[in-house]
Amino acid sequence: MDGNGRWAQMRGRPRLFGHQAGARRVREIVEACPDLGIRYLTIFAFSTENWRRTQVEVAGLMTLFRRYIQKEATALLDKGVRVRFIGDRDRLDPKLVGMMHALEEITSGNDLVNLTVAINYGGRDEVARATKRLAREVAAGRLDPEDVDAETLAHFLDTCLLPDPDLVIRTSGEARISNFLLWQSAYAEYEFTPVLWPDFTAAHFAEIVGNYSARERRYGAVLS
């Protein structure tokens, strides 16, 4: 969800104004999923690198996450959305972590759209945390190192219950992955759009998904 800061700056407003506008966009994009045939949507809300931003911006984003959960919980529940969070919760405020957990619990019976929100998430950090958990199993004698393969490691990732992404969309004209779902995106298609996230509508989303549907995916094989 890139481009919130620039969107605000273009309007002479503080960066948080852009994040607030960005948060309002999320609802429209989530609601567009069923018609587009999308059952899994993952949004990148805060990276492990975002702590380097000013204290005002970080605190503002954390407040925005709490408000978002408070404000949207009922609508998400009613619309059939199951919410999950990925990322390292250890560095997050316990109150926010409690709210994240509660939202996961109350929406756990839903299955129309599976919305995953990445907060304090980094692909490398996720693989490192998964490796630590895997190493503990080996040290405890519950896992034989000879049995470790890609599937074993994937089992320890935050995303262990989610399918790999088919399509990764980055807004705002940047053409970088920025540590997002590194392991899981091995065969994902990428789409980069110049549109800033607060301007990204359901129509933009539908157009990109349409382009994706026209692509042929080979997964390393040769198709006739």
Catalytic residues: 2, 50
Rounded to 10 degrees, the C-alpha dihedral 24/6/165/117 comes to -40
- The Cα 123–Cα 128 span in angstroms is 9
- The Cα 151–Cα 184 span in angstroms is 11
For the chain, the C-alpha Rg in angstroms (whole number) is 18
105 in a labelled binding site: no
DSSP class of residue 164?
Answer: P
136 in a labelled binding site: no
Shorter beta-carbon distance to ligand FPP: residue 69 or 209: 69
6 in a labelled binding site: yes
Instruction: Report the residue number whose CB is nearest to ligand FPP.
Output: 5
169 in a labelled binding site: no
Shorter beta-carbon distance to ligand FPP: residue 50 or 179: 50
For 150, residues 6+ apart whose C-beta sits below 8 A from its C-beta are none
At 114, list the tokens: 């599976």
CB 135 → ligand FPP: shortest distance, Å?
Answer: 31
Contact residues toward ligand FPP (CB under 6 A) are 1-6, 15, 19, 22-23, 26, 45-46, 50, 61, 64-65, 68, 117, 172
CB 102 → ligand FPP: shortest distance, Å?
Answer: 15
Strand extents, DSSP E, the chain: 40-47, 81-86, 113-121, 167-170, 189-192
Shorter beta-carbon distance to ligand FPP: residue 2 or 158: 2
Contact 169, 191 (CB under 8 A): yes
Shorter beta-carbon distance to ligand FPP: residue 156 or 197: 197
CB 141 → ligand FPP: shortest distance, Å?
Answer: 40
Annotated binding site for substrate, which residues?
A: 3-7, 15, 19, 47-49, 51, 53, 170, 176-178
